[in-house]
Amino acid sequence: MFFNILLFVVHILAILFPILIGIKSIDKFKYLKKNYLLPFGFSFLGLAAMFELLDHFKTDWLYIDHSSIFNWFFYSFLSLGLTFLSVSVTEKRLIVLPNIIICFLAISTYWIFGKFVAILFQVPLSIFLIINWQKKFNDWIFIAYPFFGIFLTTLFGNLLSNTSNQIWHIFIGPSGTVSVITFFIVLRRYNKKFHNQT
């Protein structure tokens, strides 16, 4: 019982933090020409977590590697969130267009070829995101995103899948939440450093 409550709480936090950061980003960070995309990017990540939560209600809070409509929504909104955050910091069409195409493929291939193929398309989305943000901000703190958002969430997810020990499930949400907070910290640090704004 306590485990399920704890799992529920970490999932709620994974929903609330990105959405609250998205709201906080509205009409902020005007040094980015496409700053209007930031609230959508953050909010989509929160919506992804919400659909993961709904999926867990159907599996009695046990992690099950399966395909479902809620699972598809999770991966779709995750792809959209990564794409919007990536595109928000670049103005080069040669970078924006591939992001959008790969995002579309990540969303559309889920039901055609399966979840594994859809996840594979998220790899280049994450790579584009890291390159675009590091090129724009050149902030050492940004290393927290690939560490928490990619390495640790993948590690805990693999441990969960391979061992079926649900304890690893508790650590996935907080790792993702820390990675989302990292984006906001980087945006604010750049703001303060180069634009004297808070």
Model confidence over 43-56: pLDDT tens digits? Answer: 999 999 999 889 88
| pLDDT higher than threshold 60 for residue 189 | yes
- Residue 3 confidence class, pLDDT cut points 50, 70, 90: confident
- pLDDT, tens digit, 9 for 90 and up, residues 36-93: 999 999 999 999 999 988 988 887 766 677 788 999 999 999 999 999 999 999 988 8
pTM as predicted: 0.91
Find the mean pLDDT for residues 139-154: 93
**Is 52 strand, coil or helix?**
helix
The per-residue pLDDT for 195 is: 65
- Residue 35 confidence class, pLDDT cut points 50, 70, 90: very high
**Residue 53: other Cβ atoms inside 10 A:** 19
Contact 186, 134 (CB under 8 A): no
The per-residue pLDDT for 68 is: 87
Angle at 24 between CA 19 and CA 27, to 5 degrees: 120
